[in-house]
Amino acid sequence: MKRLLFLLLLLLPAHSFAQYWLTRDEDYFFVSTGVDVRNAIFGGTVNDASYDGTLSVGYRNAGFSILAYYETFAAIRYESMGVNPGYVFRPGKMLIPVADLSFSFIRRPWKTYPSLAINTRLEYHFDRFFIYARGESRWRTDYDFFQVSVYGGVSVKFGFD
């Protein structure tokens, strides 16, 4: 009985804190898709203009953001996947800047490489979705150089309503 009482006393504050988080307007999940704008229009350093797309899922809680993503670029047989924890500068506003780090892997046909990137995003929010532009500076460990890319995309929000 003492253990049950202790467990309830331990879980009650955690439940109350979670309810506070789950009812705030700035808390939501999102699903995004995007494209590397430079590669789509002009091409890259080693390729003609072609599709380089991303898919991601994430969670936003006021000033904290985290997302997991997958990128595919078939023209150069490149894939990357990773997790991006980040900071939201103006949560709850229509125009929101976000900065994050990308801890990721680059997968090529011959090997998989760890990678690191710094991202900045500018998001314009509507009620249930937002559009974004993202600048990325990635350490391309598959070729050992820094690559700057610009992505654009759309995200759909799923709240706790």
What is the percentage of the chain residues whose pLDDT exceeds 70? 83
Does residue 17 register a pLDDT over 90?
no
Note the pLDDT tens digit of each residue in 2-14: 444 444 455 545 4
Q: How far apart are CA 42 and CA 45, in angstroms?
A: 10
Q: Model's pTM, two decimal places?
A: 0.80
Length of the chain, in residues? 161
All domains of the chain, ordered by start, with CATH?
A: 26-159 (2.40.160.20)
Q: Which secondary structure element, helix H or strand E, spans residue 9, and what is its range?
A: helix 2-22
pLDDT-derived band at 143 (thresholds 50, 70, 90) equals confident
Does residue 54 register a pLDDT over 60?
yes
